[in-house]
Amino acid sequence: MRIGILGREQSGSATPLEDCIADARRAADDGFATFWLPQAYGLDVMTTLAVVGREVPGIELGTAVLPIYARVPVSLASAVRTVQAAVGGRFTLGLGLSHIGMVQLVYGASFEYPVRDLREYLTALMPLVRGEPVDVAGETYRVAGQVTVQGVDGGSVLVAALGEQTLRVTGRLADGTITWVTGPRTLEEHTIPTICDAAEAAGRPRTRIVAGLPVCVTDDADAARARADRVFQIYGLLPSYRAMLDREGARGPGDVAVVGDEDAVAAQLAHLGAIGVDDFAASPFGTPDERAATRALLTAGL
């Protein structure tokens, strides 16, 4: 199982772009396989990763995640192929549906039929990312055209699929999934078999599984889990994440965080690999000393 870093734009920083470059450079220097950034309210994640990739060689870069409602398929495919050209083919696109409040209030779109929207979006996007022409006439997306950025491969597309329907659409149409605060039992019993079965039925190659979780090496696991519940509280309230926590039997994000001493954390990471997770996207948290210990453990086996 490869290990990467799930980065964050530093809130309130006067130099957020430089911070992202520095974080990615540190991840690459430490030997991490991947560096992921989300689309939030600040920097444009596609532009940021194009700049990061010009400054930081070697490491795979990806979005985790970009909401589909933020860009129409042709525009996003153009951005994907442009980023690929900028970073030498090291880019992976991670997409998500986002949530009803964000979609309706921020993007001004309807969230009435999210699974249908995802299916139509991927039907149009996947060929466009590969440089192929499309002509899709869906209920939400009507797309005709082709993106021509020569000399690049579109790379792979992952979807933050959580529920059964989105996992099946993703397995049929995309290259894999990237999850967040989804616990190991849910990954093993729900996420991985559902998406892999759908991919196999569609005759697609084995799907890529990227799992993102908070992680903390600590001598006080109870305190760390309580901290995770506070830091990542929002994910226990948003319906799609709440459903995954309920499936796991978790009260909050702290219950699915990878927490404990070095041996306990190492064992939890090994278990993720054993159940079929290809990539672990680590989000270290805790006190400065705990973060340093977490980073040391994560890099020890790289």
- Residue count (the chain): 302
Single-letter amino acid code for the residue at 229 = D
At 269, list the tokens. Answer: 């990471």
pLDDT value for 137: 97
Which CATH number characterizes residue 261's domain?
A: 3.20.20.30
Q: What is residue 148's predicted lDDT score, i.e. its pLDDT?
A: 94
Task: Please indicate, yes or no, if residue 199 is contained in any of the structural domains.
Answer: yes
Confidence (pTM): 0.97
The residue segments making up the domain with residue 216 are 160-302
Q: Is residue 84 part of a domain?
A: no
pLDDT of residue 220: 98
The backbone torsions φ and ψ at residue 169, rounded to the nearest 5 degrees and listed phi first, read -60, -45
Residue 231 CA to residue 58 CA, distance in Å, equals 31
Whether 217 is covered by a domain: the verdict is: yes
Q: How many domains does the chain have?
A: 1
Domain assignment present for residue 221? The answer is yes
| Within-domain flag for 26 | no
Residue 65 lies in a domain: no
- Position 176 in a domain: yes
Taking each helix axis from N to C end, the angle separating 164-173 and 114-129, rounded to the nearest 10 degrees, works out to 20
Report the C-alpha gap between 212 and 1 in whole angstroms. 13
CA distance linking residue 212 with residue 89, whole number of Å: 23
- Residue 215, domain member (yes or no): yes
Phi/psi region, residue 260 (left: phi>0; alpha: psi -120 to 50; beta: rest), is left
pLDDT, position 58: 96
- Give CA–CA dist 195/229, Å, rounded: 28
Beta strands in the chain (DSSP E): 2-6, 34-37, 60-63, 66-67, 91-96, 134-137, 142-145, 157-159, 176-180, 208-217, 258-260, 279-284
> Can you point out the beta strands (E) in 103-253?
134-137, 142-145, 157-159, 176-180, 208-217
Kindly give the confidence (pLDDT) of every residue in the chain, 302 residues in length, as a single tens digit, with 9 standing for 90 and above: 999 999 988 777 889 999 999 999 999 999 999 999 999 889 999 999 999 999 999 999 999 999 999 999 999 999 999 999 999 999 999 999 998 998 899 889 999 999 999 999 999 999 999 999 999 999 999 999 999 999 998 899 999 999 999 999 999 999 999 999 999 999 999 999 999 999 999 999 889 999 999 999 999 999 999 999 999 999 999 999 999 999 999 999 999 999 999 999 999 999 999 999 999 999 999 999 999 999 999 999 78
Contact 167, 209 (CB under 8 A): no
**pLDDT in the model for residue 205:** 84
